Structure 1
Amino acid sequence: MAQSANSLHGTSASVESILSEELARGDRSLRGVAPVLAHLLASSGQPLVSDAIVARVRGMLDHLARQLLAAERAEVLGSPAHGPPAPAEAVDALAAHLAQDHVVLGHSHVLALESHLAERLERRASLDPVLSPLLQELIASDRPAIAELAMTTLAAQSRFIQSQRRMDMPLSELPAELFLAVIACWETAARAGERGGVPRGAIERLKRSHDEGESRAGLLARLVSAMGSGVLAALELEHAGLALFASALASVTRQPRENAVIACHESQAARLALAFRAAGMDAQAIERQFMLLEPGVRVPGVIGELAPDRAQAILARSDARVVDIER
């Protein structure tokens, strides 16, 4: 981030063009993520322990494959409690097929990055990855609906952290569009193999059980919405915690949540600075947030001279969506 942040310095007259150029560089970096991940996952010589992000992505894709094959076996046998697990070669083949889909791969990458950032913030700033001060306040709200929603969100965040430690990705946690993309990959892989296709009953059962609104991302979005104007409190990373912070930043700046998460990466300093300014934060507030993420980075005061609507417009011109559902 230091190199990118250093290039943010400039006069008030040039700050918009500088940030636009940096954002374009960040866009190019994001477009290269999925192909690079696909290459690393396909390489048998890539040590799993050499890159925590790659290892987690690989583990999540394997977990998706195991869940899909278990659903298929349950449909064929009539009960999920009987029969051996899917052969390792079948899991590997389906996981490799999932890895070829950049939508699935991109979402896996963002989840792995979010958990990695949460762990780093816990080490650096003692920020609990599950229960943040703001979430604790919401749980204690005198409005029963918000308190209940906050408790449910807490449980979902706890499950997310535990799943990431196991390198798992439950099907129930997928956004609706991504869930359908995974099902489509499964069907394509089955048709290409010897099985001839996926049993329709298995697909329908999974679709009936999927509820995006009860996923962690769905619950976070609902909680942010319920906060109303109080959502600005969630833009304080140390107070809100990374999960709630990312959802709030996405909501306020009208970006996909995945982009808000990726903006916290060291290579995306311009994207994060623009998002903060689009949310109406002044230069001092922006610098405080950068100090938490990257203590060595100083944000130039001229960022405060960029109008929030101009910052929003620059973000809107960005052609990168981390998880490009629409493709």
Structure 2
Amino acid sequence: MPEVRARARGPVAAAGGSLLPAAALALLTLLLLMSAAPSARAEGTARTPARDAAGPAFDIDGERIPTYDVVLTIRPDGVLRVRETITYDFDRNGEHGIVRRVRYRDRNRLFAIRDVRTSSSTGAPARAKTLHLLHDVQISVGDRHRKVRGRQAYVIEYEVGGAFTPYSGHDELTWDALGTGWDVPIGEAAARVEAPVPLRRATCRAGEPPATVPCLRDRDGPYAIDFTQRGLRPHEGMTVRVKLPKGAVAVPPPVYASPHWDATWQGTTALALALGAVAAVARRPPGRRVGAVMIGAGAVLVAADAADDAVAHGPWAFSLGDLCLMGLALAIVGAGAVCAGRNGAQGATDTRWEE
């Protein structure tokens, strides 16, 4: 029986070590899927476009947004000032408030969402709590200790820095005025654009990209344009695009972050070699202490790689490259050494006990 256990421990140790790289690769795949921008959807999954602005609003029982009014004020310094007035119908069970997600990262482009302020004209709790997620700033408005019911009105105000994109002949603003994170239908939506110069080239499209329809447009003088849309389904928004003459407003250079996944073939090769080394380590383990040191060194490399961009742009601006893959390679080999060493020590103990 001792010989049978000794033969079985080698394959078991190798199999246990091979699960570690599989788990690491699954984690990296999850990160890649999380970092994919929502705008990069396949055409086959596109939703039906929003109804025409002249069509009837949806009549759906339960929670909904009857009216959603947004004012986008373009300042001379290039900062976009946003004021959202949201009328929300809660069901009879009530909720603690609303949650608005504002995108601050579009692929690798970064926007600065700052100076968030909230209020309520109906007396509902309107304390704001912000949380940076992978691509959005989550603005929670309400009170977790108190529920609200019926129709309530909220106002969310914030500034957006770095929203303009400079081109050779003009500067352009493209902004989703409502966001596409709402799980309820929106009856009447309006987006008003105000600028310090005459607005000659401004458009709006409603729906969920790539299936969108033009919004109804109404000019209010040379410096303001109103766009309206009725009957938006859940996760449909209004994307406003404004082109201004060069020099009309100050436009700083856009800010970009490194991709979440930025590895090259060198790091991939190091990880592949680590996978091959697990079997050799299982046969001749260098010792659990050496394995623990390798795991610690690998963790330091992964943390250093993730923190490089996160320190400058926030926790969700991490970029994993070759340093991360090399750290994973060390950790995988170290984990294999620890597992093999532990199994070997246990096998020696069993053999002495049976003798």
Do both proteins adopt the same fold according to a TM-score greater than 0.5, normalized to the shorter chain? no
Identify which of structures 1 and 2 has the higher relative contact order when contacts are C-alpha pairs closer than 8 Å and 6+ apart. 1
For the pair shown, the structure with the greater C-alpha radius of gyration is 2
TM-score of Structure 1 vs Structure 2, range by shorter chain: under 0.3
- With structure 2 as the length reference, what TM-score do the two structures score? 0.22
- With structure 1 as the length reference, what TM-score do the two structures score? 0.23
Structure that is richer in strand per residue: 2
